Amino acid sequence: MKIVLLGAGNRARKYLEYIIANPDRVELVGVVEPNRLRRESIARKCGLTSDKLYVSADQFFALGRVADAIVIATPDKYHYPQAMAAIELGYHILLEKPIAQTVEEAEQIKLAADRAGVIVNVCYVLHFHPYFVKLRELVSSGRYGSIVSISHSAPVGIDRAGHVYVRGIWNRTESQGPLLTSKCCHDLDFLIWLTGSKCRALSSFGSLRWFCAENAPAGSAERCIDCRVEKTCPFSAVDLYRNRHAWISNFDVPNGMTINDAIEEQLANGPYGRCVYHCDNDVVDRQVVAMEMDSGVTIDLTVDVFTTSNRRVTKISMTNAEIVGDESCIRINTFRPRANEVYDFSSTLEAPYHAGADLATVENFLNAIEQGHDDSHTGIAHALESQRLCDEIECSRRLSN
């Protein structure tokens, strides 16, 4: 199987590890990436010659079909045009989430894929994560009765929010879609999978509350390195990148420079050195959603930005037990007999590649291609439902503002 990467950023590099580890099964035959440093770094790592490196998707698609499959791991706004161009050429696609920016685009991708007879599999990696797999297995085991309601918090966290949704490229709805779609489509997809049902009614509230100019403290500046209150600011870029070395994995390090030089360059001149109160962001920084599913299960979902936690917490009320999971542990209190069960997942918390789920995602995609059909839960037919839900939630949120 010959495969090409579109986008050579954070996500593509995860999937690449599967490709490198399985040379008997799959071979990387090209990288499409406008950023020269990233293109060349993958070329060095995988021994690709310069004729296999493409600066733009247009240049690549103009060649016709040069592989069996492609991984689309570009920013969200490119998913639709790139997926449509790839399907036209007959490529099978491993498509990063969200499928597209609207449900109409996502439906067009599915229709085109069905017509062309190609597989489009969506990178909903939680389906392969041991903790989420176990949670679903327990809930559907029948041992605890049926689900009554679910309370789920989807943590964004202040570091991720500052890096991705305030200073970073996902900070504007018009270019990258709403935060709920770009971040929490995973959560919605998981809740649909967990309950085995679709949503029949919902409402949502949310807005940009804090990361805007009117909340800038006295003494703050356009850049954290010039700020007089930086030392006490919880959102300081100096603290995040220079002191804690967090969220720096996609800072490019040109030849002759170190990662510390790259951090200082960002702090002085890059988008990641900007004060969170002086950015061009407009995505929400808090949101709640209430849903009723076809099965009658009610769900409340909270998008949690103002936390240092990055763990999803799911409380599932069942007719004979209460199940609470926080990604580190699943605790079950049964009602009769009164008993407790504990499943420990602490060892998977920091395990690489989302505890192996990123690698299993590629494997599942290759299996579907080999079988010639994809009825897995991450196939586009199933994944469409979460895209539909994201659109409807955003519609409700806008109407309530």
Ligand X SMILES: NC(=O)c1ccc[n+]([C@@H]2O[C@H](COP(=O)([O-])OP(=O)(O)OC[C@H]3O[C@@H](n4cnc5c(N)ncnc54)[C@H](O)[C@@H]3O)[C@@H](O)[C@H]2O)c1
Nearer to ligand X, 181 or 396 (CB): 181
22-61: which residues touch ligand X (CB under 6 A)? 32-35, 38, 57
Nearer to ligand X, 86 or 332 (CB): 86
Do 293 and 198 touch, CB atoms closer than 8 A?
yes
* 76 part of the interface to ligand X, by CB under 6 A: yes
Binding ligand X by CB under 6 A: which of 10, 175, 269, 371? 10
Report the C-alpha gap between 398 and 393 in whole angstroms: 9
Report the C-alpha gap between 25 and 63 in whole angstroms: 24
- How far is C-alpha 353 from the geometric centre of its chain's CA atoms? 13
CB of 121 to ligand X, least distance (A): 12
92-121: which residues touch ligand X (CB under 6 A)? 96-97
CB of 399 to ligand X, least distance (A): 25
Size of the site for ligand X (CB under 6 A): 23
| Full 3-state SS string of the chain | CEEEEECCCHHHHHHHHHHHHCCCCCEEEEEECCCHHHHHHHHHHHCCCHHHEECCHHHHHCCCCCCCEEEECCCHHHHHHHHHHHHHCCCEEEECCCCCCCHHHHHHHHHHHHHHCCCEEECCHHHHCHHHHHHHHHHCCCCCCCEEEEEEEEECCHHHHHHHHHCCCCCCHHHHCCHHHHHHHHHHHHHHHHHCCCEEEEEEEEECCCCCHHHCCCCCCCEHHHCCCHHHCCCCHHHHHHHCCCCCCCCCCCCCCCHHHHHHHHHHHCHHHECCCCCCCCCCCEEEEEEEECCCCEEEEEEECCCCCCCCEEEEEECCEEEEECCCEEEEEECCCCEEEEEECHHHCCCHHHHCHHHHHHHHHHHHHHHCCCCCCCEHHHHHHHHHHHHHHHHHHHHHC
Nearer to ligand X, 74 or 204 (CB): 74
Do 43 and 50 touch, CB atoms closer than 8 A?
yes
| Closest residue to bound ligand X by CB | 9
Nearer to ligand X, 30 or 220 (CB): 30
* 81 part of the interface to ligand X, by CB under 6 A: no
- Extract the tokens encoding 144: 């605890």
CB of 119 to ligand X, least distance (A): 17
CB of 275 to ligand X, least distance (A): 22
Nearer to ligand X, 13 or 223 (CB): 13
Site string for ligand X, 303-342 (x = CB under 6 A): ----------------------------------------
Site string for ligand X, 155-194 (x = CB under 6 A): ---------------------------x------------
Binding ligand X by CB under 6 A: which of 31, 85, 109, 123? 123
The piece of 1-9, 141-149, 240-248, 385-393 that touches ligand X (CB under 6 A) is 1-9
Nearer to ligand X, 11 or 274 (CB): 11
CB of 7 to ligand X, least distance (A): 3
* 270 part of the interface to ligand X, by CB under 6 A: no
CB of 33 to ligand X, least distance (A): 5
Nearer to ligand X, 96 or 230 (CB): 96
Binding ligand X by CB under 6 A: which of 74, 102, 314, 364? 74
The CA distances from residue 375 to 163, 378, 381, in Å, are 36, 8, 8
Nearer to ligand X, 128 or 144 (CB): 128
Which residues contact ligand X by CB under 6 A? 6-11, 32-35, 38, 57, 73-76, 78, 96-97, 123, 125, 182, 250
